[in-house]
A and B are shown apart, each in its own frame.
Chain A
Amino acid sequence: MSWTQVSYLYDGTYAGFLTCVFESYLHREEPMDFTPFDQAAASFYPQRPVEADRKKARRVYRALEQFGLEGKRWAERGFLTCLPEREVWLWRFYQLGFRQKRDLTRNLTHPVVDTVRRAVRHLEEEAHLLTGFVRFSELEGALAGEITPKNRVLPLLRPHFCGRYPQEQFLLYDRTHREALVHVPGKWAILPMEEFQMGRAGKEELHYRRMWRAFYDTIAIQGRYNPKCRMTHMPKRYWGNMTEFQREYPPKLDGLPPLP
């Protein structure tokens, strides 16, 4: 293919990316990299800024139907993954899909399909793990939790938690991507949020945390101690946000003067 090689500058949203796909077909350009506006830097390729256009994005989005149900899922979710140069891989994936249609998801040995499938699987597996590993704290009647995932999992976690706690007000903060899922009964939103600090836990909350830790410590069988197995199933990078690993520090200093 002898399309001109270019570098796209776009706004970093999914609609913006779909517009880039539209433009690339319109102008017969092959994007070699995608850069959000705010991270613009010099490039080897001629740079072209693309403004997001909902109409164009919608046309591309509709065309994704051709990939079949699974193919469409990979095409959409690919944008939420932490794959390096994910836009370029996705663009190649779309290009292949427009040619191969429904055969796309069967062509599993193709390097592009393989890369995108693996990335989406990583995303979905992380989201599945987090449906279990998220820990909420009750702060003045509302629930608040915090995660630090590699992929943008909030859109995937949203149906699970909104369905599970239809009566609760809760907030789930994604520290890696600086956004939060906010839910009040009947409504939800995923909003960008620069900073979030968990408030001080009340007495009841502390009591429940203590009981959970006691349960966690008790349920393990000493004679079967197997830290490798635990780390395989629950990698250490999740531990930081989990109640069972947050011990009550500082320990009680009976009768000692407070530290300077």
Chain B
Amino acid sequence: MELLDKLKILADAAKYDAACTSSGLDRAGRPGTTGSTTLAGCCHSFSADGRCISLLKVLMTNVCVYDCQYCVNRRSNDPPRAAFTPRELCQLTMGFYRRNYIEGLFLSSAVLVDPDYTTQRMIETLRLLREEYRFGGYIHAKAIPGADPLLTRRLGLLADRLSVNIELPSAASLALLAPDKGREAIFAPMKQIRDGIAVSKQELKLYRHAPRFVPAGQSTQMIVGATPESDRQILSLTQGLYDKYRLKRVFYSAYMPVSNSPLLPAPQGFQPPLVREHRLYQADWLLRFYHFRAEELLDADNPNLDPRLDPKCTWALRHLEFFPVEVNRADYEALLRVPGVGVRSARRILAARRVGPLTFQGLKRLGVVLKRAQYFLTCSGKPLTGLKVREDGLLRHLTVLDAPREPVMEQLSLFDPPAGA
């Protein structure tokens, strides 16, 4: 089989994995090697679905012994199957990297024979890439649940980031849809990686040439919309993962109908829950950068995120007693809770108010989104002049801002068929 065909098959099999980031690690290039990484990561392109292409995202092979219902590569499905040899994959990565097409390699794999054998093949590829091709770019590898911990460790020493996919947000769904993967089998490598990172960080403090184990941290992803969990369950799980497992990122992937299994939503007429995924990411950002907790955003009475309004606005509307916030006095945490104020603009507010009192006009210059923030702020004790919105009208005003634009107007015609005809 030609390399081009293999690439098509194995990229196609890998595309449902949401994670494609190259962030979390600054490593300068060194003479004699090729490649570097940057802390913020770097997007090299954006595909037609608007997602970032940063890494060469492929599977080692899509031949799988498992039969997970939600997965295109399940044993009972019949797509074309292929496998890269380690050498082929290295040449492809280097060829793309030199031309600045990619930031590095995202290597995942279906389970060929068993988890140990699969991991060994991945290790062989990464070893070749790092040692023979002297590749210093970013490598994100999937840890295969059920593999020997020693193999996972070797993988972690070669890769920059490891991830173990949680796949589904609850143990019950996992048992139903992925009978070959146990909850324990997923959390065991996550624990191992967490502890390995902590030990490695400690060792690096003592000796700067100590081996670096997963220096860019670990991440995970779960599928949203295939199973009946509420947003509240998903967010509390996420919060737990950030707290207990010290993850860098949790990715959500709206379920795409790839299966006719009776256990999953029927593919006919199924709309992937893209808005829900978007809201979950917004809430995820609130957890990571805005000092929110999952239990603040959702509770038993409101188990799902409001599709009409972003989670921060929803929170603000439920906690009107917290507002208005005085721009010239409020602390950083309070500023971050104001809809329309982000991390950057909050920092700028802190800097700018040391020079003189801030006005609404000044706030605009700082990048505050006034069309949202105006309802929740005062400048030197005064709200925006001319602002007349009562509390009950607030929801309407804010949802209008978030609603998709009206469809393009059309010239009316006398001869259009009447609706329903």
Of A105, A166, A167, A227, most B-chain CB atoms within 10 Å: A166
B365, CB-defined interface residue at 8 Å: yes
- With both chains docked as a complex, state the minimum distance between the C-beta of A22 and any C-beta of chain B, in angstroms: 27
Residues of A within 8 A of B42 (CB): 128, 131-132
The answer on a CB contact under 8 Å between B44 and A133 is yes
CB contact between B7 and one of A107, A185, A211 (< 8 Å): that residue: A211
- A-B contacts, 9 listed (Cβ < 8 Å): A109-B355, A132-B100, A133-B45, A163-B29, A166-B31, A168-B98, A215-B11, A232-B50, A234-B43
Nearest CB to that of B50 among chain A residues?
A229
Whether A203 sits at the interface, judged by CB under 8 Å, is: no
Residue A225 at the B interface, CB < 8 A? yes
Q: Which of these, B31, B50, B351, contacts A226 with CB under 8 Å?
A: B50
Task: Check if B84 is an interface residue, CB within 8 A of chain A.
Answer: no
Contact B45 A225 (CB under 8 A): no
- The interface size bin for chain B is 35 or more
Q: B358: which A residues are within 8 A, CB to CB?
A: 109
Interface residues in chain A, defined as those with a beta carbon under 8 Å from any beta carbon in chain B: 103, 105-109, 111, 114, 128-129, 131-138, 143, 145, 160, 163-168, 185, 207-208, 210-212, 214-216, 218-230, 232-234, 242-244
B365 touching A114, Cβ below 8 Å: yes
B32-40, B143-151, B213-221: which lies at the interface:
B32-40
Q: What's the minimum C-beta distance from B4 to chain A, rounded to whole angstroms?
A: 6
User: Contacts A166-B32, A224-B272: A216 and B49 contacting too (C-beta < 8 A)?
Assistant: no
Sorted from nearest, which 4 A-B pairs have the closest CB atoms? A229-B50, A109-B362, A220-B47, A224-B49
Chain B residues near A145: list those with CB within 8 A: 100
Q: Which residues of chain B from 238 to 282 have any CB-CB distance to chain A below 8 Å in the complex?
A: 254, 256-257, 272, 274
Residue ranges of B at the interface with A (Cβ–Cβ < 8 Å): 3-4, 7-8, 11-12, 14-16, 28-36, 38, 40, 42-54, 56-57, 92, 95-96, 98-101, 103, 254, 256-257, 272, 274, 348, 351-352, 354-356, 358-359, 361-362, 365-366
Residue among B56, B101, B361 with the highest chain A CB neighbour number at 10 A: B101
Q: Are B351 and A219 in contact (CB under 8 A)?
A: no
A210 surroundings in chain B (CB, below 8 A): 4
Q: Which of B100, B274, B355 is A224 in contact with, Cβ under 8 Å?
A: B274
Residues B98 and A216 in contact, CB atoms below 8 Å apart: no
Q: A164 to chain B: closest CB distance in Å?
A: 5
Contact B15 A221 (CB under 8 A): yes
Q: Are B256 and A221 in contact (CB under 8 A)?
A: yes
Q: Does B4 lie within 8 Å of A211, measured CB to CB?
A: yes
In the complex, which residues of chain B have a beta carbon less than 8 angstroms from the beta carbon of A211?
Answer: 3-4, 7, 92, 95-96
Residues of A within 8 A of B52 (CB): 233
Given the complex, which residues of A lie within 8 Å of B54, measured CB to CB? 132
- Complex CA–CA separation, A219 to B9 (angstroms): 10
Contact B47 A167, beta carbon cutoff 8 Å: no
Residues of A within 8 A of B57 (CB): 219
Contacts of B274 in A (CB 8 A): 224
